[in-house]
Structure 1
Amino acid sequence: MRLDHSQAWDRAIAGLQKFWGYSQFRPLQGEAVTSLLKHQDALVMLPTGSGKSVCFQLPALLQSGLTIVISPLIALMEDQVQALQAKKLPAGMIHSQLSSQKRRQTLRQIEQQQLRLLYLSPESLLSPPIWQRLGDPHLQIRCLIVDEAHCIEQWGSSFRPVYRRLGSIRDALLPKNSAAPITVAAYTATAKPTTQAAIQTVLRLHQPQVLSCSPYRNNLDLTVEVAWTPACRRQKLLAFIGRQAHSAGLVYTSSRRLCESLAAWFCQQHQPTVAYHAGLSAPERRRIEAQWLQGKLPFVICTSAFGMGIDKPDVRWIAHYHPPLSLSAYLQEIGRAGRDNLRSQTLLLTSEPTGWLDPQDRQMRQYFLKQLRGQQASAQRLVHRLPRQGHIDTITKAFPEADLALALLHQSGHLIWEDPFHFRILAAQGFNPPLIPTKLDITDYLYTRQCRWQFILQQFGFDQEAHHFRCGHCDRCRSRTSKSRSFH
Structure 2
Amino acid sequence: MRREMSLKMEAISQTPLLSTITRLPGIQAHYTPAHLLMRLLSPCLINVNNLLMADEDNLQENIWHTLWELLNNHCAREKSQAQMLAIMMVLRWEQDAIIMIHTGGCKSMLWIISPLLDNSIHLIVVSPYSVLLDEQHQKAMDTRFRAASFRLDKHPPQDTQILFVQVEHVYQKSKFEKFLFGVEVVNFTHMIINKQYNHITCLEERKSAWCQLTQWTSWVNMSIILLSGTNLPSLQHQIQRTSAFGRITPLSSTALQLGLHIIHLDPFAGLVALAHLVSELAGKLTADERILVFFECCKLAESFVEEHGFAVYHSKLLNSEMKCVNLQFWDNGTSKVMACTSAFGFGVDCPNICFIIIFNLELSLLTMMQMAGWAGRDGRETHIFLATSE
TM-score, normalised on structure 1?
0.39
Q: Which is bigger in relative contact order (C-alpha 8 A, separation at least 6)?
A: 2
TM-score, normalised on structure 2?
0.48
